[in-house]
Amino acid sequence: MDTIRITEADFKVQQEYDWLCENNSVDGAVVFFVGRVRDFSKNEKVLAIFLEHYPQMTERSLQEIITNARQRWQLGKVAVVHRVGRILAAEQIVFVGVTSQHRENAFSAANFIMDFLKTQAPFWKKEITPEGEHWVEAKASDQDKARHWR
Amino acid sequence: MADVKIRFFARLRDQLGVSDMALLMSDVANTEEIIPHLLQTHPHWQKFFDAPLLMAVNQQLVNEPTELVAGDEVALFPPVTGG
């Protein structure tokens, strides 16, 4: 069972964790990752970010990433929650949670989903600093991480 | 002839100053023809199209030239930076 949510509102990790565990007594492993807004980037203070996305494609792209993860590993539930809009420094951006019978599959799948989310899902970050706003450049290292799964 | 919808996102949209356009099927039968066609009417966009860009057809990333049909939605955008 998958849940994919794109939301302007913040999420509660406990609620997402509870959903992963609900009606699920077969999975012994739950792995989750939370991405947050750092207050520094390239020696510049970051006050907030603005996250734009491409509605319809975002959900489709995340579903495809989850489907690919399910083809590689035996997984129970998968939850991906990604915020959009204005997000302040230190706030949460993304939640990826995976359950499986054993931890190796859950760790690997959570990592895989994040690597592809960062390189395939149509989200774009703009950093808001005291000096102004600028779009964030994609990192080659993120491309490399996604490529190593192929 | 029916239209193909072109959408631009994030930095590219800000640079071009436009979020979407409608093109004629007779002008763009394949994704390869889109940028050359746009440059005919907007030659100053060249520098923005020189940067790395991704393309999606009907909300799916495409890496190869793709035939278009009436009603398709093509999106052009910079490499993604979510997560």
Tell me: the pLDDT tens digits for A12-30? 999 999 999 999 999 999 9
Q: Does B79 touch chain A (CB under 8 A)?
A: yes
Quick check: B69 pLDDT over 90?
yes
pLDDT at residue B1, as a whole number: 60
pLDDT at residue B22, as a whole number: 96
Cα(first)–Cα(last) distance of chain A, in Å? 25
Of A57, A117, A125, the CB nearest to B56: A57
pLDDT at residue B61, as a whole number: 95
**Sign (positive or negative) of CA dihedral B19, A10, A70, B83:** positive
Q: Which residues of chain A have pLDDT under 50?
A: none
**Closest by alpha carbon to B77, among B18, B10, B1?**
B10
pLDDT in tens, B16-63: 999 999 999 999 999 999 999 999 999 999 999 999 999 999 999 999
The overall pTM is greater than 0.90: yes
Contact of A89 with B49, CB cutoff 8 Å = no
Chain A hits for B81, CB-CB cut-off 8 Å, are: 118, 123-125, 135-138
**What value of ipTM does the predicted structure carry?**
0.94
- Give the chain B residue nearest A63 (alpha carbons): B60
